[in-house]
Amino acid sequence: MRKSKLLLVLTASVAVVLSACGGKPKPDTFTYRGYSSALASNWNPHSWETNADSGVLGYLSEGLVSLAPKDTAGGVYQWVYDMAESIVDVTKTNAAALVSYLGVTATEADEYIAGLDEDDPGRYVYQIKLKDNLKWQDGTVINADSFIESGKRLLDPEMKNYRANLYIAGESAIAGAMNYYNAGSRVFLDNSLVELVASDDDIVLKGGVYVQKANDLGIYIALDEPTDYLGGDTLKDYVDYYGDALFDMTVWAELLTKVTTEGDNAYQLQLTQANLDLFKSLLDNSSGWGEDGSYWVFYAFVEKEFPVVGFETVGLQKVDDLTFNYVMATPIDEPQAFVSFSSTWLVHEDLYDANKDTTGALTVSTYNTKVENTMSYGPYKLSSFETDKQMVFVRNENWYGYESVNGVLTSTTDFEVNGEKVKQYQADTLIIDKLTDEAAKQKFLAGELSEYSPTASELSDYTLSDALYQVDETYTMSLFFNSNLDDLKAMDLNEGNQNSVVLSNRDFRKAFSLSIDRAEFVTKTAAYKPAYSLMNNLYYYDVWNDPTSSYRRSVPAMEAITGLYGVEYGPGKPYATLQEAYQSINGYNLTEAKALMKSAHDALVTSNDYVSGQPIKIRIAYKKGALESDDLAQIALLNKYITAAVQGSGFGTVTLEGVGNLEDRYGAVPAGKFAIGYGAWGGAAFYPFRNLQVYADPDQYSIHEAACWDPKTETIKVEFDDFEDTLTWQAWSGALIGNGKYATEDNEFKLKVTAFLERAFLDKYYRIPLAGSTASFLLSFQVSYITEEYNIMYDFGGFRLMKFNYTDAAWAEFVKSNGGQVDYK
């Protein structure tokens, strides 16, 4: 991101402020102005639903702990205490809590604690001590009773609050919460959470429909309901995204004829014998999904009947006025527990109860839906709310984090960022307007908004803007190939290619890669950053225990990529350190690319696969939808790069033709319809050691490069230090995870294996990384984040640490001096 322009702007603003000063100065004020296409309507922590609702809660509340940057240059995060003074795992001294809330016997509790390793604190009972100066905006004290009474209301079986789902199941589940929430009810639950059905042996046909053998209660398969097994996603989410790259779409289409698509029972598959067999066939025949029919139980929802119990059975246990125990339903490591503690269920009891309505089948509370029934315990409070128009927030003077300096409320972190405590929550006022995208754009350019999200078609105009922030995503856009000589010959005859046989030569593919100026490539298209490897900086191998555990920044991973591109470091070398060498990589070396093209030409002519000087045309499977201007710009650049690389090599002119409107471009390449495809792999940011599976395990994934090689039979010797072993590529791709051969080895070993394999795969040039995808937005020059480097753990530091570069008055003067329009390009 360029900064010269912004520095000039800030210098100019200082002059404006100084020249504008006259008479008695007024206190500086800072206003942040945001927008949304739809304003929040319900910011009740027990029932909110939309992102807009959640955003409001972010100003009015806070968690017991939160994530914050510690070292922005190194991408290091830290857990910091907010409402909590401390959180300690006290399982080893709380056997009685295990008995009371988990339903185990005293003997079982004692045996569990006695069997814990020295380093394992137990992971069930977390003791939370609150700060002693917590208050609501009206001055009401917040203490341990506040959390326990709020929890009772959250889980009230007479209310069935929507957000109780966060605490009755999953990692945040409180012991006993599910039983209390469902007390006296018969409900369907995710079978993965309650494990009532393990196999076909646990169900029986009654009246043509399967029920649970143990109790005759119901069961169905969920096609479009979030499941714990899929991490909160639905099966339909995956089918919609991957299509026939992973699934048998014929069977899926038939399944959809068996369900309704509207109403409360949408996409629920009734468990007749025929329907169960059909669903099993989906799993059996979708080889890319990597499951068989026995996995159907992970998509099942089962009916369960709950007895009536009281709230005393729920694992929220008062210790003293400022301390309570949170008893987990399942043992959770401290980092995962802290994730649970980063938000709370706290409500102002009197105001919550005063807004209850008991006239319906369920009791509801309209708490936190308008100014008069909203109560804050966060840094801001709601000042005004005009439905479908505007929300205004001002400082909550009773928030514990503020101090008054000369009558002005300010706040400084009690933790350090980059070695020092910093200002937090600098905005005095926040204004959120309901605006259309076009109206937001006009206000942003007029200096009347602090943020704007350009449309995809607009984004290219701001690629070089100092105001552009890009949130890295895990997806790496790449070119992938079919390098099989017979397939390429057939494509030259039947698929519109001409001399695409050149792609069978590794030197040709490597030369193509080295000819690409990725820094230029990303400036001509929206929302991309240059990429030179399979995984980017978002992949962490031990994120919860080691905030510095970025795979890409590890020594083996950096050595893999510097080695791939031939960048040397050390005494007498171009770069002194590995990090300097790695940071210098741009993937571009036209001189080497030309030499490799000459080598490729000579080899192909010698093998009689190419006649010197003949033209080359290669069609690229580029996009599922129609090609747009950005796509055409990308393709034009690729043509420019490869044309430069083949000059003087003996090859004729090369034309790359992008093709859109393709239902399955990923499958079309290995099927021999296209020689090159354009697409991405990504996801699973905290599991880099299994990343290679998408390239080398055809039993788990549809391999895009399947025509190039057979990873199930091709072997590779991995060697480093005094270690060496030879396995198939497929075996190596799973060797570090699950029950793999080296799954129990330490992270240092796994890093070396992963880096070795990443370099070796890239060195085949079956896939050429081009760019990492991003989500992008523009931020007003009035403000800036504490860091411009996105981190998956703390974003850019967030609104909490945002800095104001101008007071409101100075910003108004700056906008006026620029004719009422700010140039963000």
3-state class (DSSP) for residue 471: strand
Q: What average pLDDT does this structure show over 383-412?
A: 96
Mention every residue, 6+ apart, whose C-beta is less than 8 A from residue 760: 716
Best CA proximity match to 813, nearest among 248, 46, 12: 12
105-114, 139-148, 170-179, range with the lowest pLDDT:
170-179
* Identity of the amino acid at 534: L
Per-residue pLDDT at 378 exceeds 80: yes
CATH of domain 4-42+362-450+780-817: 3.40.190
Question: How far apart, in whole angstroms, are the C-alpha atoms of residue 341 and residue 87?
Answer: 9
pLDDT tens track for 250-303: 999 999 999 988 887 889 999 999 999 999 999 998 877 878 999 999 999 999
The pLDDT of residue 27: 60
pLDDT tens track for 6-63: 322 222 222 223 223 333 335 689 999 999 988 999 999 999 988 889 999 999 999 9
73-77, 240-244, 548-552, range with the lowest pLDDT:
240-244
* pLDDT-derived band at 555, boundaries 50, 70, 90: very high
Domain spanning 468-772: CATH superfamily? Dipeptide-binding Protein; Domain 3 (3.10.105.10)
List the beta bridge partners of residue 326: 126, 316
Distances (CA, A) of 479 to 37, 623, 739: 36, 12, 32
Best CA proximity match to 316, nearest among 113, 152, 108, 109: 152
Question: How far apart, in whole angstroms, are the C-alpha atoms of residue 512 and residue 593?
Answer: 7
Tally Cβ neighbours within 10 Å of residue 438: 9
Per-residue pLDDT at 143 exceeds 90: yes
List the beta bridge partners of residue 88: 127
Please, are residues 719 and 759 in contact by the beta-carbon 8 Å criterion? no
Q: What is the CA radius of gyration of the chain?
A: 30
The pLDDT of residue 19: 29
Q: CATH topology for 84-185+309-343?
A: Dipeptide-binding Protein; domain 1 (3.90.76)
Please, are residues 269 and 257 in contact by the beta-carbon 8 Å criterion? no
**Choice between 625 and 213, residue whose per-residue pLDDT is larger:** 213
Question: How far apart, in whole angstroms, are the C-alpha atoms of residue 503 and residue 533?
Answer: 20
pLDDT tens track for 632-658: 999 999 999 999 999 999 999 999 999
- The DSSP output letter for 295 is G
417-426, 620-629, 704-713, range with the lowest pLDDT:
620-629
Consecutive H or E run containing 581: helix 578-583
Question: How far apart, in whole angstroms, are the C-alpha atoms of residue 781 and residue 447?
Answer: 9
Q: What is the mean pLDDT of the chain?
A: 92
Please, are residues 639 and 618 in contact by the beta-carbon 8 Å criterion? no
Q: What is the pTM of this model?
A: 0.78
62-71, 464-473, 531-540, range with the lowest pLDDT:
464-473
* Identity of the amino acid at 753: V
The pLDDT of residue 526: 64
Q: Where are the beta strands (DSSP E) in 411-551?
A: 412-417, 420-423, 429-434, 451-452, 468-481, 528-530
Consecutive H or E run containing 165: helix 165-168
Which tokens sit at 551? 């795979």
Paired sense of beta strands 723-728 and 616-621, if any: unpaired
* pLDDT-derived band at 605, boundaries 50, 70, 90: very high
Question: How far apart, in whole angstroms, are the C-alpha atoms of residue 126 and residue 64?
Answer: 12
Q: What average pLDDT does this structure show over 359-379?
A: 97
By percentage, how much of the chain surpasses pLDDT 90?
A: 81
Question: How far apart, in whole angstroms, are the C-alpha atoms of residue 191 and residue 170?
Answer: 12
The pLDDT of residue 739: 79
The pLDDT of residue 14: 29
Please, are residues 771 and 521 in contact by the beta-carbon 8 Å criterion? yes
48-52, 84-88, 280-284, 385-389, range with the lowest pLDDT:
48-52
The pLDDT of residue 357: 96
Please, are residues 500 and 488 in contact by the beta-carbon 8 Å criterion? yes
DSSP secondary structure of 703-742: -TTTTT--TTT-EEEEEETTEEEEEEHHHHHTTTSTT-TT
- The DSSP output letter for 25 is P
Which tokens sit at 405? 């300096």
Angle at 459 between CA 457 and CA 464, to 5 degrees: 145
Domain extents for the chain? 4-42+362-450+780-817, 84-185+309-343, 188-305, 468-772
Question: What is the helix, strand, coil percentage profile of the chain, to 5?
Answer: 35, 20, 45
Q: Where are the beta strands (DSSP E) in 223-341?
A: 268-270, 300-305, 316-320, 323-327
14-18, 56-60, 360-364, 460-464, range with the lowest pLDDT:
14-18
Sign of the torsion angle spanned by Cα atoms 501, 506, 510, 511: negative
The pLDDT of residue 663: 84
Please, are residues 157 and 186 in contact by the beta-carbon 8 Å criterion? no
Question: How far apart, in whole angstroms, are the C-alpha atoms of residue 777 and residue 825?
Answer: 13
**Choice between 702 and 314, residue whose per-residue pLDDT is larger:** 314
Question: How far apart, in whole angstroms, are the C-alpha atoms of residue 315 and residue 175?
Answer: 5
The pLDDT of residue 484: 98
Which tokens sit at 478? 């790449």
Q: What average pLDDT does this structure show over 577-588?
A: 97
Give phi and psi for 485, each to the nearest 5: -60, -45
Give Cα 133 distance to the centre of its chain. 35
How many secondary structure helices (H) and strands (E) does the chain include? 27, 33
**Choice between 169 and 370, residue whose per-residue pLDDT is larger:** 370
